[in-house]
Amino acid sequence: MEPLLSVAGLTKRYGGRLACDGIGFTLDPGEVLAVVGESGSGKSTLLSLIAGEVAADAGSVAYRMRDGATRDLDTLSLVERRALMRTDWGFVRQDATQGLRMAVSAGGNVGERLMGVGDRHYGRIRATALDWLARVEIAADRIDDPPTRFSGGMRQRLQIARNLVTAPRLVLMDEPTSGLDVSVQARLLDMIRGLVAELGLAVIIVTHDLAVARLLSHRVLVMRAGRVIETGLTDQVLDDPQAAYTQLLVSSVLAA
Amino acid sequence: MNPPNPAVARATVTVSAGAGYNFAYLDEGTKRMIRRAILKAIAIPGYQVPFAAREMPMPYGWGTGGVQVTAAILGAADVLKVIDQGADDTTNAVSIRRFFTATAGIATTTRTAEATVIQTRHRIPEAPLAEGQVLVYQVPIPEPLRFLEPRETETRQLHALAEYGLMHVKLYEDIARHGHIATTYAYPVEVAGRYVMDPSPTPKFDNPKMDDCPALQLFGAGREKRIYAIPPYTRVRSLDFEDHPFRVQRFDRPCALCGAEDVYLDEVVLDDAGGRMFVCSDTDHCETRLGETRLAETRLADGHTGEAA
């Protein structure tokens, strides 16, 4: 099977410092890849490079479009690229205030992508929004509340609904559970796992929490100082880490 | 070599008597810069053209953008009308009319039909506009997406790519909150099937008048330094949803003075006991109608049957 996403030799420097150094991997449809590593290891930069929000110094990102043709994202026009991001991709941010319109109601947040692709029927947009709010366990009577009145966990769930409403095939997630307390984390992870399985999403999830990687991902990429130092199946990497740094990372997890 | 002809000399130095200003206040270089922006704006209907707005001898918010556009297009033969919320007799309108009388020495009028240039703050006259007339709008905030997307770089990109889904998010919010599209002024329009434009804070009652209008419509935003335009006979469509179509507000009574229906009315408070009346917001329209009524009554009383005395 041809991969959905192929990343090759992605490199980004901030001045003299290397944020990402020649990173390459492939991602199959429906596959969940966790990128783990400590703060400053280049995880979030990698995600921004893939999403095209930061220009890479070298390397390429190729994506298999809905029509089956694999295109280098650099060759897409701005219009195509933005349309792709709005429909076939999702980006769930660590800070929900960056991923949501805080002054717009929950329904408007979910409906924005639909209106962005040309839906002009209020009743339909609202029905779809209600459906998605239910799927991310937000009560229907909160549809007209702005996310400023939502808790941290609800905001993340709303962000997920907002991204999934156009049925994307690839979702990038940047630390979606950080800053939430553990019981809320557990519920959110459970929900993400359910949606990923149900919709057959391909996901790249950046996390410093190995438990999140263990729970959600099929494969793990361990990063340190901008380089991939180990990669493999999740159980394999977490249960039998080969690189010294991965061993340190795995042994640093506190058991409750 | 003839001695210089005093008449010719007067004609070339276009300084109005005693004022010490160039014709219509602005220097010729500035007027040329503004005219270029206007031409570009006409060529790309609804597109906001940046221009180097000057300081004007009035505060921002009083129509500095509109005044600069008017100054750039005025000729000595033009007849200027200025309205503020439909009225010819409010401070803003009177001041701007006097400003151009003093600096350009041109004729002014309150009659919509007689004017060649009409500068307006937040209304379109009720009387239909004709070919050859120019309507100049004073615009406070030209960017229709401003309150949804604070980044100028991003709004420009949205315009460039015609990504206007966000504009519908605003209308969605209206319906979600009020059950209908509650935006009553500055109602966003799509111009010539391309650019989404803020028609300045005119009531949405006036939106249909912009569509296929024979007059040229120019918009000037002084503080924000933008000029945009709707050329004559251009399609202007108010945004809406399929199941919540665009509608203008209706009034359940006619004007208390002239009895006009299907016009935009202002509420006038009469006393402190709750007394109020609704009258035409367009004072010229109201007065013209009242004049016609009086004329008809006089003729009736004098036994005339329509022939001029």
pLDDT tens, residue by residue, A136-161: 999 999 999 999 999 999 999 999 99
Interval B105-143: pLDDT, tens: 999 999 999 999 999 999 999 999 999 999 999 999 999
Q: Residue A182 above 60 pLDDT?
A: yes
Listed in order, the ranges of chain B carrying CATH 3.40.50.11310 are: 28-238
Contacts with B175 from chain A: Cβ below 8 Å: 122
What is the C-alpha to C-alpha distance for residues B268 and B270, in angstroms, rounded to an integer? 6
CATH topology of domain B28-238: Rossmann fold (3.40.50)
User: What residue type is assigned to position B73 of the chain?
Assistant: I
Q: What is the ipTM of this complex?
A: 0.88
Chain B contact probe: residue of A105, A122, A162, A165 with most B CBs at under 10 A: A122
- Where do runs of H (alpha helix) occur along chain B? 6-12, 28-43, 64-73, 91-104, 152-160, 165-178, 207-210, 283-302
Residue A250 near residue A236 (C-beta atoms within 8 A): no
> What value does the mean pLDDT of chain A take?
93
> What value does the mean pLDDT of chain B take?
90
Contacts with A125 from chain B: Cβ below 8 Å: 172
For the residues B94-100, what does the mean pLDDT come to?
95
Contacts with B168 from chain A: Cβ below 8 Å: 115, 120
Name the residue among A100, A99, A97, A125 with its Cα closest to residue A111: A125
Q: Residue A255 above 80 pLDDT?
A: no
Interval B22-50: pLDDT, tens: 999 999 999 999 999 999 999 999 999 99
- The minimum CA-CA distance between A37 and chain B, rounded to whole Å, is 33
Residue B248 near residue B255 (C-beta atoms within 8 A): no
Percent of chain A with pLDDT over 70: 99
- The minimum CA-CA distance between B14 and chain A, rounded to whole Å, is 50
Q: Residue B197 above 60 pLDDT?
A: yes
pTM exceeds 0.90 for this model: no
Active site residues of B: 46, 255, 258, 280, 286
- The token duo for A202 is 């391909």
pLDDT band at A208 (very low <50, low <70, confident <90, very high): confident
For the residues B219-238, what does the mean pLDDT come to?
97
pLDDT of residue A2: 87
What is the C-alpha to C-alpha distance for residues A57 and B272, in angstroms, rounded to an integer? 72
